[in-house]
A and B are shown apart, each in its own frame.
Chain A
Amino acid sequence: MATLPVLKEYPAQEHPETHFLNHDKSLKSWLLTVDHKRIGLMYLASVIFFFFVGGVLALALRLELWEPARNFMDADTYNRIFTLHGAVMIFLFIIPSIPAALGNIFLPVMLGAKDVAFPRLNLASFYIYVGGALFTLYSMAHGGIDTGWTFYTPYSTTSGSAVISMTFGVFVMGFSSILTGMNFIVTIHKMRAPGLVWGKLPLFIWSLYATAIIQVLATPVLAITLLLLIMERTLGIGIFDPALGGDPVLYQHFFWFYSHPAVYIMIVPAFGIISELIATFSRKTIFGYWAIAFSSLAIAFIGFLVWGHHMFTSGQSELSTVVFSFLTFFVGLPTGIKILNWVATMYKGSIWMQSPMLYAIMFLFLFTIGGLTGIMLGALSVNIHLHDTYYVVAHFHYVMMGGTVFAFLGGLHFWWPKFTGKMFNELQAKIAAVILFIGFNMTFLPQFVMGSQGMPRRYYGYIEQFQTLHQYSTVGSWVLGVGFLLIFWYLVQSLRKGEAAPSNPWGGRSLEWMISSPMPPHNFDYIPVVKHGPYDYHQPIAEFRLGIDDGHSHTETKAH
């Protein structure tokens, strides 16, 4: 090319007739698509389905706990149901929820790329996830499993339930997670648009980057652990089984070396969404950009050093217990930095309290409670008292549900107009958010109290003094159920007859808001050029839509 490319503004086309949802309508074009947006949508539908399954299991558990003794299911069924609730929510819902669903749809767009680096691998990840999910469904159909989602040995080597098919399913899904992580790291390194230097990346991208590093480094260890567990059950290799001379505590070390970092796979992407929501709805440059970006990486790093805090009462050495407790407190630093920066971003901002922002604020409340109770649990002397009680259950539900699920819902509402092209009913969204907030606290606050009074987790029966608190908790779970049904209702209504969404309904500045809603099939019909950071609200919006011609005629692009 002899002539220099011309930098000009490319305004988004409002309400386009052709977009990624309808440019090819055949079933095959969905099932075999390599388009990251369609793959992300298929993930989204899957994780929502499994959230529903896990949620129904949770409602059944809470209903059983209405009575101190048997209510409507026997103890064996109860053990299977709490195991399935944990396994489904963790491996099938929360791990893929933000990265594989929302991340897949928006990561390439926010980078100004046409797709992830390895689109076919991305599709393969999805089908590997589906394959793993089928194994877990098979396991459920064949009696389920009653070991708890941690599959601790020696019980998991002797339990009569369908352990092999469940752990094999989780093993397979691990590869899906690894491949997604690899794909994201390469995409962030190699596919950024001209001008999009690391210091101008949206913070959601930074959080996905930190998450992907954990996925790549931790998940293979889970894979080998589960493989060894399967071998233990089939061949009796004796590494973890004390009856054969093995060591069950070694299993716990192996398992938590993955599963502790894995909780950061679950929460760090949520941090990224919150950064986007708070900056966008405060109309203000984010406070402490680098502090937030690097605190994600710091969490990813420190997360690898604290796995032993799950094992304070397992019989590991006192010295390692003290060291792990000490290191655990360090996780509080980067997390505290984030909370401080988010609050400082809101300070003197022009806050627009739309439903996504409402979720972000609720996240700040709930996650802070979850985080501070985590510090309590990290303290050795307190932990001995609270270990394996409902206090732990409440703590991680505040972090995982109050944190990740609320952020996921915030992100879902935030980006919903972008990928569906439809607005939702804002009033109903606000009502649902408030219902969820009330229901959530009703369900889990009493569990802190019960736990500190000595109610053990996972127990089928309990003494009568806990009945009132258990019943509060159960009623809370119904309120939560109503809130989710309302969300489901208005989102379906939005798809059916929602108002058409403009390209930038919230006035965002990152690249996904500079293209049509829904997005064009190849995201950009030009090469976007980035001049300003994603939170530079003081700059004219026209300067966020710059680009150069990509050398393709547009008719050719449409022919794909």
Chain B
Amino acid sequence: MSHTDATHSNSHLQHHFVDSDQQFDSAKLGMWLFLVTEILFFGGLFVAYIVYRAWNPELFTMAATQLDTVMGGINTLVLIGSSLTMALAIRAAQTDNPSASIKYLASTVALAFVFMVIKYFEYTHKFELGIYPGEAYSFTGIDHPKAHIFFSIYYMMTGLHGIHVIIGIGIITWLIIKTRNGAFNSSYYTPVEITGLYWHLVDIIWIFLFPLLYLID
């Protein structure tokens, strides 16, 4: 069976495709479909958010004051920046410039790490106050019987998003290794392109999470 990591120019073409265009279009359509499933996956949590916010509007404005808008804002800028470096990495791969592509991919990974580190400080600060998800919640600063549910939703949404960032770090690191081995060029850069699509989705989900959770007070 065919593999993507062989040497001559046409070697990335798998045996069941007629040509590279068909293979590229298929991969891209597949990725878009995957993104649709991701949106529906997060969609469940957004529905839970909408339902509980509609029932307890005062809880959401009170609880949002416990979230650190500055840290969240910095993280938003960090992720938008990482989307830019990702797009530049794709451009570099398309124009046969692997060394630039590696630099941009590495910056994307670095920014993703910055995001996770800031997230870590946010989480640990909350844990110190006793703001845990669910039954372990022991914070007394919010006078509302369902305060723990807001933070359950907060941790579910941001936690699931964080897992997606970590998966993204893994995939982009793999892309760096592949690029270093010379796997991608102007006629074959599908993995870089579709990873970029994934990374932009991770970014966009955060762009919805940030105002919905942090900026509502």
Contact = CB atoms under 8 A, between A and B. Distances in A.
Given A113-B16, A216-B33, A238-B148, A225 B134 contact: no
Interface in A472-528: 522, 527
Interface string B15-33: 1101000100111011001
B189 to A, nearest CB: 18
Contacts, number: 117
Contact of B133 (A216, A235, A522): A235
A186 B23 CA distance: 10
A178 B44 contact: no
B69 interface: no
Contact of A231 (B14, B34, B43, B134): B134
Contact of A238 (B16, B51, B152): B152
Contact of B48 (A185, A218, A219, A239): A239
Nearest to A550: B18
B41 interface: yes
Interface of B is mostly: helix
Interface residues on A, range: 35 or more
A238 B27 CA distance: 40
A236 interface: yes
Interface residues on B, range: 35 or more
Contact of B25 (A190, A216, A219, A236): A190
Contact of B135 (A119, A218, A238): A238
Q: Which of B36, B47, B152 has the most CB of A within 10 A?
A: B152
B191 to A, nearest CB: 13
A232 B133 CA distance: 10
A237 B33 contact: no
A190 B22 contact: yes
Given A231-B156, A244-B148, A216 B37 contact: yes
Interface string A174-194: 000010001101110111000
B38 interface: yes
Contacts of B70: none
Contacts of A189: 26, 29
A560 interface: yes
B153 interface: yes
Given A118-B26, A237-B134, A224 B16 contact: no
A246 interface: yes
Given A114-B16, A182-B33, A231-B134, A239 B153 contact: yes
A-B residue pairs, 6 tightest by C-beta:
A236-B135, A224-B44, A237-B152, A114-B16, A115-B16, A220-B41
